[in-house]
A and B are shown apart, each in its own frame.
Chain A
């Protein structure tokens, strides 16, 4: 519904905007979650130092991408 008027009397953001927003939000959430869970799992398999940084970064990017994609789809199917 790209041109409908929202409850606050202003045009609602278009579908693409919402999908983008969903992706960005999912990406942020996924990065945060990936930082937490990635740190635990990388420590558990015995990474330390620079290796640990790389491992955590990789997990963060991965989970950010996954989350972002799913969030974008979740936004997309509702407009």
Chain B
């Protein structure tokens, strides 16, 4: 997971945006295929057609909202890296919360706070899982050179992780 270093900062935005779009489109394709299949009237051709329609209409939408999330997230992340001068999990958590807040901005302050809390909690969970995984992985392969300190600033596990909820 930490084998691939994340892209250096300005390019990370593009990378995350595209990665998030792909992730959302593929994942949305899978889920919408099932959903369209189940919601269609009986008959195999109807079901397949319904499934295709659901994929065509919804998967790009989901990919788009993932891309918005991922792009805004890493934009804020890069801003924080520049401002604070270091890269640590707090960057990701803060930018997750801010992304949630910004994307809910048109729904009023209450929605902004709720959405920010959700983004922050999610990113904190993901970062925590990443840290645990790094510990586990470095304990699992004791043949490798031992890290004498915390192994590097944790890269976000799957960097472009967009929230799967839609904020629209």
Contacts and interface: CB of A to CB of B under 8 A. Distances in A.
A18 B137 CA distance: 12
Contacts of A66: 31, 164
A-B CB proximity, top 3 nearest: A74-B158, A8-B144, A70-B27
A12 B133 CA distance: 15
Most buried by B among A8, A73, A74, A75: A74
Nearest to B4: A78
B160 A28 contact: no
B103 interface: no
B112 interface: no
B30 interface: yes
27 contacts: A8-B145, A9-B145, A10-B141, A22-B1, A25-B129, A25-B130, A28-B129, A29-B122, A29-B125, A32-B125, A33-B121, A66-B164, A69-B30, A69-B31, A70-B23, A70-B24, A70-B27, A70-B164, A71-B158, A71-B161, A73-B22, A73-B23, A73-B26, A73-B27, A74-B161, A77-B19, A78-B4
A36 interface: yes
Contact of B1 (A21, A29, A37, A67): A21
Nearest to B28: A70
B27 to A, nearest CB: 5
Task: Give the interface centre of B121, B129, B158, B161 by most chain A CB atoms within 10 Å.
Answer: B158
Given A22-B158, A74-B161, A78-B4, A33 B125 contact: yes
Q: Which of B22, B121, B126 has the most CB of A within 10 A?
A: B126
A46 interface: no
A6 interface: yes
Nearest to A65: B31
Given A8-B145, A67-B164, A71-B158, A78 B121 contact: no
A74 B22 CA distance: 8
A74 B161 CA distance: 8
